[in-house]
Chain A
Amino acid sequence: MNPGRSIILNRIREALRNNPAPRPHTSHSQADAAAETHGHAQREWLPKVGATLPEQIDLFAKISEGLKTEFHRVPTIDAAHNLLKQLAAAEGWKKIASHSHHDTDSLIQGIDLPVVRTEKGYGIDELESCDAGVTGCEVLVAQTGGVMVSVESAGGRALSVLPPHHVVIARASQMVPDLTAAFEHVKKRYGKNLPSFMSFITGPSRTGDIERILVLGAHGPKRLTVLLID
């Protein structure tokens, strides 16, 4: 163990000992604050989300528009499959990447393109040369228009970020109101053994680094398509 550890811990303890900091000027009492930080108080302050599924889907759709996420509601997996084929034809895909997962499997089944599968490992260049990455997800987040992915639900870390077009398939039952609900979902699903990678993807990759002008597809996908099966 490096000596830095005890040096830093000692400095911290020394700094904090008998040296109370003034509490922040807030309108809450201490008791409120303690109760709140442990509960779901954030929901009182953060942007409002409707309680019902249709409201949440509508909110997700509205935010997606602002983010330039291409959000499609489809009645069945077959309809999603047809949409995917149209995308493939329109963009002239030559190769796609995906991973084994019940919905992605049915989504790409019968598509007439070579498919790189990531779940058992892959070559970086092989994945880099794919035109699209097709993945599942953990949940969709209504409040932020976000897609939560993880190693498990999106075929690893890179599949959802390296190819220029990321297509996500989700079911209406995967819609959750907010980030807190998304965290509850993964805790419930994985217990203490959370995936080593989880990400909230909120729109296609972007940058404003040149004159603060928005450009999509900085390093990640230029397009993000979310297919929601009702």
Chain B
Amino acid sequence: MATQAADFQTLSRRYTADKPFRAFIQKALGGYYKKRDENKANFQDWQGARDLAAETKYEAVNHLDKYLLEFEQKITARGAKVFWAPNAEAAREYILKIAKENGVRSIIKSKTMTSEEIHLNEALEKEGFGVFESDLGEYIVQLRKEAPFHLVFPAMHLTRRQISDLFQKELGSKATDEPEELTMIARDVMRRKYCEADMGISGTNFAVAETGMISITENEGNARLTTSLPRIHVALLGIEKVLPRLEDLSLFLPMLATAGAGQTMTCYNTMYSGPRQPGEPDGPEQMHIVLLDNRRTELLADAEQRDALGCIRCGACLNVCPIFKNVGGYSYGTTYGGPIGSVITPHLRGLKDWKHLSAASSLCGACTEACPVKIDLHHHLLQNRRNGAKASPAVGEKVAFGGFSLMMGHPALYRLAVVFGRIFQPLQGLVNGTILDPLRAWTGSRNFPKLAPKSFHEQWKKERGGRK
């Protein structure tokens, strides 16, 4: 078994067994459901908005080259540099090169899952650059040397007590049970970092082709500071994030806020087109856009699942997923967790090692229903299962079902099997579910149905014996 699949099993077992943890996660999400529903209800027609969002993304993704070129041309005209990175390594090297060429000493970052994807922090730190995550949740997990637990709520798995202990240990602050005080501790630390940093690294939520802009959505204001104060701004941008028109944001910004966190609008939605322009009082001297492919084009080539590139990383599918809610974010072992992660990771990192994630679904379709851009998530999970089975057929299963159909098609064989079953079932019962059990793959988590002492056939014969 691939190690990723084994890790998934171990971790998901552990998290699922941890009832207080599960209750904590469910409680944290409880407030979200309520707010999300309230905000959805304010829409005149949420379903109509989803249709339009899906259509807009369809148009953008299916003309990706055109819109990326338009975006590049417009934002370059404003003095930004666009670097096309075919893979993670190219992106990391480019960013390192800029940092070195400009004598950068301190780097501040705002939340970007794309940088997690390319393991940027490790690369920068290895070269001796200090990197500080400024988003509160990201900062907390950075201090714990952990990855984000959730696309949108990176530290939702931690209690205030754990965070207080962490701050005491790492920052020497006083113990407190108040989320507000904890937030202020981080605020004070970060204030100094913003003022000192000479490079700011951000993600991007949307790029606008028409006007050559990137748009960043956030609640805390850390991304605004990251993109205003340092003299260099580097924005990571997955190639799939481009939208055709500025007005498209009128739809996507409220939808992202509603689906993502149950807000009318996220606190700051900021559009940047270029570095500081002549006559402007502040802003970076340089702006670099790192356009990242990193196998997104593999997903693009799969017409059946291409719509998954429309993902706006709102996290709604995670929040409603019965698997995510129970196994949590870390079981997945991927940058992108939950249903969308299970769909795209096989494309981004290989089907062989990641197909098991598509099996971890009840196929209830809650994700598809929640998705603001109508990605057909649960069908994609099924398609991944199909593709996985095609690529590496499960021989044991094939043989088992072949045998089963042979037996069911031949009464004599069936009767023979029943006789054997009666003999072996009591023996199997002695080792049920243990390593000695040959049926362990099934009985490890389920019971094998008991054979009836007398089959229907036998009873029929006995009761109605002579009569025809």
Question: Taking the nearest CB of chain A, how far is it from the CB of B396, in angstroms?
Answer: 34
Determine if A198 is an interface residue (Cβ-Cβ < 8 Å). yes
A99 to chain B, nearest CB (A): 8
For B248, what are the chain A residues with a Cβ–Cβ distance below 8 Å?
37
Any B CB within 8 A of the CB of A46: yes
Partner of A196, one of B182, B272, B291: B272
Is B282 touching A122 in the complex (CB atoms < 8 A)?
Answer: yes
A199 touches B297 (CB 8 A): no
28 contacts between A and B (CB under 8 A): A5-B84, A8-B84, A8-B86, A9-B69, A14-B297, A15-B301, A20-B303, A23-B58, A24-B51, A26-B51, A26-B374, A37-B59, A46-B43, A118-B281, A119-B281, A128-B191, A146-B265, A151-B280, A156-B281, A207-B183, A210-B160, A212-B29, A215-B179, A217-B183, A218-B220, A219-B187, A219-B191, A220-B267
Q: Are A21 and B297 in contact (CB under 8 A)?
A: no
Which A residues touch B225, using CB under 8 A? 158, 161-162, 219-220
- Contact call B282/A210, Cβ cutoff below 8 A: no
Asked whether, in the complex, the Cβ of B44 is within 8 Å of the Cβ of A145, the reply is no
* A90 lies within 8 A of chain B by Cβ: no
Smallest CB separation, B129 vs chain A (Å): 20
**Nearest 10 Cβ contacts at the A-B interface:** A220-B221, A218-B220, A209-B137, A26-B51, A15-B301, A157-B228, A4-B84, A24-B54, A179-B250, A45-B49
Supposing A16-B300, A209-B155, A219-B187 touch, asked if A21 and B62 sit within 8 A by C-beta, the answer is yes
* Nearest chain A CB to B239 CB, angstrom units: 7
Say yes or no for A174: interface residue by CB 8 A criterion.
no
A200 to B69, CA, bound (A): 27
Quick check: is A203 within 8 A (CB to CB) of the other chain?
yes
* Residues of B in contact, count (CB < 8 Å): 109
Q: Does B251 contact A (CB under 8 A)?
A: yes
Give CA–CA (A205, B220) in the complex, Å: 5
Most chain B CB within 10 A, of A5, A66, A146, A218, is at: A218
Residues in A whose Cβ lies below 8 Å from that of B86: 4, 7-8, 11
Chain A, 112-132, CB within 8 A of any chain B CB: 118-122, 124-125, 128
Give the CA-CA distance A48 to B31 in the complex, in Å.
24
| Nearest CB in chain A: distance from B310 CB, A | 8
Please state if A156 and B280 are interface contacts (CB–CB under 8 Å): yes
Contacts of A16 in B (CB 8 A): 62-65, 300
Binary per-residue interface labels of chain A (191-228) against chain B in the complex, 1 for a CB within 8 Å, 0 otherwise: 00011111111111111111111010111110000000
B228 near A161: Cβ-Cβ < 8 Å: yes
Across the interface, do A201 and B52 meet the contact criterion of CB distance under 8 Å? Answer: no
Partner of A206, one of B65, B160, B220, B250: B220
CB-based contact B293/A144 at 8 Å: no
A183 and B281: CB pair below 8 A? Answer: no
B85: contacting residue among A4, A14, A204, A217, CB under 8 A: A4
| Shortest CB distance B100–A (Å) | 17
Q: Is the pair B190, A219 in contact by a Cβ cutoff of 8 Å?
A: yes
Within 8 A of A (CB), among B404-447: none
Q: Which residues of B contact A66 (CB under 8 A)?
A: 264
Chain A residues near B65 (CB, 8 Å)?
9, 12-13, 16
Is B56 touching A37 in the complex (CB atoms < 8 A)?
yes
Q: Is B336 an interface residue (CB 8 A)?
A: no
Residues of B within 8 A of A204 (CB): 267
* Chain B residues whose C-beta falls within 8 Å of the C-beta of A136 in the assembled complex: none
Chain A positions within 8 Å of B, measured between CB atoms, are 2, 4-5, 7-9, 11-16, 19-28, 33, 36-38, 40-42, 44-48, 63, 66-67, 99, 118-122, 124-125, 128, 143-146, 151, 155-158, 161-162, 178-180, 183, 187, 194-213, 215, 217-221
- Give the docked Cα–Cα distance between A217 and B293 (Å): 36
Q: Is the CB of B269 within 8 A of A24?
A: no
Q: Once the chains bind, are A44 and B58 in contact (CB under 8 Å)?
A: no
Question: Which residues of chain B are within 8 angstroms of A7 by Cβ–Cβ distance?
Answer: 84, 86, 293
Partner of B28, one of A9, A41, A212: A212
Contact among A33, A38, A156, A179 with B254 in the assembled complex (CB-CB below 8 Å): A179
Mark each residue of chain B from 288 to 329: 1 if its CB lies under 8 Å from any CB of chain A, else 0: 000101000110110110110000000000000000000000
User: Cβ of B90 and Cβ of A24 under 8 Å apart?
Assistant: no
Q: Are A220 and B268 in contact (CB under 8 A)?
A: yes
Residues of B with C-beta under 8 A to A196: 78, 272-277, 280, 283
Given the known interface contacts A2-B84, A19-B303, A24-B51, the answer about A212 and B282 at a Cβ–Cβ threshold of 8 Å is no
Let me know if A151 and B281 touch, CB within 8 A: yes
CA–CA, A213 to B263, complex, Å? 14
The contact of B32 among A67, A157, A201, A212, by CB within 8 Å, is A212
* A69, chain B: closest CB distance, angstroms: 10
Check if B179 sits within 8 Å of A221, measured CB to CB: no
A121 to chain B, nearest CB (A): 5
By a CB distance below 8 angstroms, the chain B residues around A67 are 264
Q: A220–B300 Cα gap in the complex (Å)? A: 38
B45-84 CB contacts (< 8 Å) to partner A: 45-49, 51-52, 54-56, 58-59, 61-65, 68-69, 78, 83-84
Say whether A209 contacts B44, CB under 8 Å: no
Q: How far is the CB of B253 from chain A (nearest CB, A)?
A: 7
Contact A209 B136 (CB under 8 A): yes
Docked complex: B170-190 residues within 8 A CB-CB of A: 179-180, 182-184, 187, 190
- B87's closest neighbor in chain A, by CB? A4
Whether B224 contacts A220 by the Cβ 8 Å rule is: yes
Additional A-B contact list (16), CB under 8 Å, known A24-B307, A143-B254? A9-B68, A11-B300, A14-B301, A23-B58, A26-B51, A36-B55, A66-B264, A125-B195, A144-B254, A157-B224, A157-B228, A196-B277, A197-B228, A202-B267, A210-B183, A218-B222
Q: When chains A and B are docked, how far (Å) is the Cα of A12 from the Cα of B267?
A: 34
Q: How long is the Cα–Cα vector from A48 to B264 in the complex, in angstroms?
A: 12
When distances are taken between beta carbons in the complex, the residues of chain B under 8 Å from A155 are 281
**Which chain B residues lie closer than 8 Å to A63 at the CB level?**
264
Assembled-state Cα–Cα distance A72/B387 (Å):
60
Across the interface, do A24 and B250 meet the contact criterion of CB distance under 8 Å? no
Q: A28-B55, A161-B228, A218-B187 are in contact. Are A211 and B280 (CB under 8 A)?
A: no
A37 to B69, CA, bound (A): 20
Interface string of B183-203 (1 = CB under 8 A from A): 110010011001100000000
- The verdict on B227 contacting chain A, using a C-beta distance below 8 Å, is yes
Q: Are A205 and B293 in contact (CB under 8 A)?
A: no
Indicate if the CB atoms of B62 and A179 lie closer than 8 Å. Answer: no
